[in-house]
Amino acid sequence: MTRVWTPGAPDPQVTAIARTRVLLVALDFDGTASALVADPMSARALPEIADAVQRLALMPDTSVAYVSGRSLTHLREIAEHDDDSKVILAGSHGAQYWFPGEGEAEIVETEQERALRESLFDELEPLLTRYPGVELERKTFGVGIHGRPADPAVERAAFTAVDEVMARRAARWRRRTGDRILEFSSRHEGKDAAITALRARTGATGVLFAGDDVTDEDGLRVLGADDLGVRVGAGDTAAALRVRSPQQIAALLGVIADERAAGRE
């Protein structure tokens, strides 16, 4: 049962996750830490979310991660993430990782995988010029097709054309849909794998994971009784809690930081 969070009202579940011994706060980026924007690379975390993330990341026994479908390179850019950051990154739906003090985790990829991906880029790039407003994103392990700037009918036609190409050339790649985006990846990891890996890595006794889209539901479904899932905006969800906007995520993170600090005094 999902309930709507009421800012300013006492909330036992929020207090419980804030007081867990070892906390992992994991956030989707687009639509959760940032507003949804037409130009994908112009997305930035709301200043109040960036501030709350930094505050939490500096607390003892507390880790913060951005968990995104973006490739790690693009996620670092939009998160304004530098080599001294305390924030963990999980990119490409959990196929790529960056850890504080270590950097990017090494990933092995075959020459055949690279060659197929480059060949698909070469075919899809001219194809999508026929669909005004539809944009191709080169991802580390696949492709993303963004339709937000386009007319919805043009978007649907473009997605159909891309589906035909991928069915013919890369039928085993994982297909994902989101808010006006279609993605294909040669890797099959999802945000469920990312949450599981980050929980093990940090030793978290409680995980807060927040997201706004269908791809985030993989991560929300693997949360346990001592965790807290948060859905941003409308839509069917496995999350226990719903907030209306990234601005409310900022407020929620502020409450958790305050509760966590108070519990250690």
- CA dist 131 and 50 (Å) reads 35
Instruction: Indicate whether 131 and 99 sit together in one domain.
Output: no
Instruction: Indicate whether 164 and 252 sit together in one domain.
Output: no
pLDDT at 14: 97
* Ranges of H-type helices in 90-216: 111-128, 152-169, 191-202
Instruction: Indicate whether 53 and 92 sit together in one domain.
Output: yes
- CA dist 255 and 262 (Å) reads 10
The helices-and-strands tally (H runs, E runs) of the chain is 8, 13
CA pseudo-torsion sign 157, 235, 27, 98:
negative
The CATH number covering residue 14 comes to: 3.40.50.1000
- CA dist 67 and 26 (Å) reads 6
Angstrom CA distances, 34 to 49, 76, 132, stand at: 8, 14, 25
pLDDT at 38: 86
pLDDT at 46: 98
- CA dist 241 and 163 (Å) reads 34
Instruction: Indicate whether 141 and 195 sit together in one domain.
Output: no
Predicted TM-score (pTM) of this structure: 0.86
pLDDT at 263: 73
Instruction: Indicate whether 72 and 203 sit together in one domain.
Output: yes
The CATH number covering residue 148 comes to: 3.30.70.1020
Instruction: Indicate whether 33 and 119 sit together in one domain.
Output: no
pLDDT at 221: 97
- CA dist 200 and 34 (Å) reads 27
Instruction: Indicate whether 153 and 201 sit together in one domain.
Output: no
**Residue at which a domain ends, from 126, 159, 185:** 185
**Residue at which a domain ends, from 158, 185, 212:** 185
Contact 117, 142 (CB under 8 A): yes
Domain around 96: 3-107+190-263
**Residue at which a domain ends, from 185, 200, 215:** 185
Q: Which residues of the chain have pLDDT under 70?
A: 264-265
Nearest 5°: phi and psi at 137?
Answer: -110, 125
Instruction: Indicate whether 54 and 38 sit together in one domain.
Output: yes
| Number of structural domains in the chain | 2
Instruction: Indicate whether 55 and 134 sit together in one domain.
Output: no
Nearest 5°: phi and psi at 32?
Answer: -120, -65
Instruction: Indicate whether 156 and 204 sit together in one domain.
Output: no
Instruction: Indicate whether 88 and 163 sit together in one domain.
Output: no
Instruction: Indicate whether 56 and 17 sit together in one domain.
Output: yes
- Cβ atoms within 10 Å, residue 45: 24
